[in-house]
Structure 1
C-alpha cells in the first residue's frame, strides 16, 4: 500500500470511528458500509466529506454498489487524485455530522440560466439514485431478516 492511499484510508477510518465513537483501529476497512451499520444518510455524509476534503464527487450509487467499503473508497480517491498533493482537513465529530452550513445572508432574486437548470435536473437524478439505492438496501435488509427468522 503506498503512502498516499494509506493516508487516505487512515483519514476515512478516523471519520467512521468518529461517527461511532470507537478507535480507528477497530474499523474494518473491508467491511461494507451496510455491514458497518451506515444508513443512507450516513453514506451521503461520507460522500459529502469526500467532496469537502478531497474535492472529489463520488457518485452516490457507487457507494452502495462497487465502492462499498473504505478500502475501495480509498482506491477510488487515490485514482482520482492523480498526483495532486493530499491536503486533509482536521476531522471533528461536528464536521462529520454536518453536511452543510446555514446561510446567513438574505436571499436575493436570481435568474436561473439553462446551465443551472441542467444542474438542478442532475440534482434530481442524484436524489432519485439515492432513493433507488435506499430501496435496494431495504430489500437486502428484509431478505436478511427473513432468513434470520426462519
Structure 2
C-alpha cells in the first residue's frame, strides 16, 4: 500500500525558461537555413524538457519502504523525520547544517525538503536529505508506516 507518493517536478517557469533555447537557436541558424534552425531548436527544446523530467525524482512511502529516486530504505531503520517547510530552513539544512556524510537528493526548484535520520548503526550515512513539496505529509506517512504492526 502506498501511503505517500510525489514526483518532484520542476515549476512551470523552468519549462518556460527552457523554451528560450528555441529563438536563440533559430537566430543562430537563420543565416544558414531557417527551416533547419527551427527543427534543431525544437529538437533541442524536447531534449531540455526530457532532461528536466528525467531529473525529477519520485518520493514514495509504502508500507515498508521509503523510496527517493532510485534509493530505498526500509521504514524499520528510519529514525527522526524533520520537515523543512520554509525555503530558509531547507537552505540552512542543505548549507551550514549539512553533514558531509549525508545522502542527498535535492532539486533547486523545490523550496522545501525533509530529513530522515538513519537508525541503522552499521550504515555510515547519518541521514537522508531530499527535496519534497509536502514535507509534513511525508513525515506523517513515514511515522504512520512505522507505527503499523507487521504481519510476517
- TM class by shorter-chain length? under 0.3
TM-score calculated relative to the size of structure 2: 0.21
Question: Of Structure 1 and Structure 2, which has the larger fraction of its residues in helix?
Answer: 1
TM-score calculated relative to the size of structure 1: 0.22
Which structure has the greater CA radius of gyration? 2
Question: Of Structure 1 and Structure 2, which has the larger fraction of its residues in strand?
Answer: 2
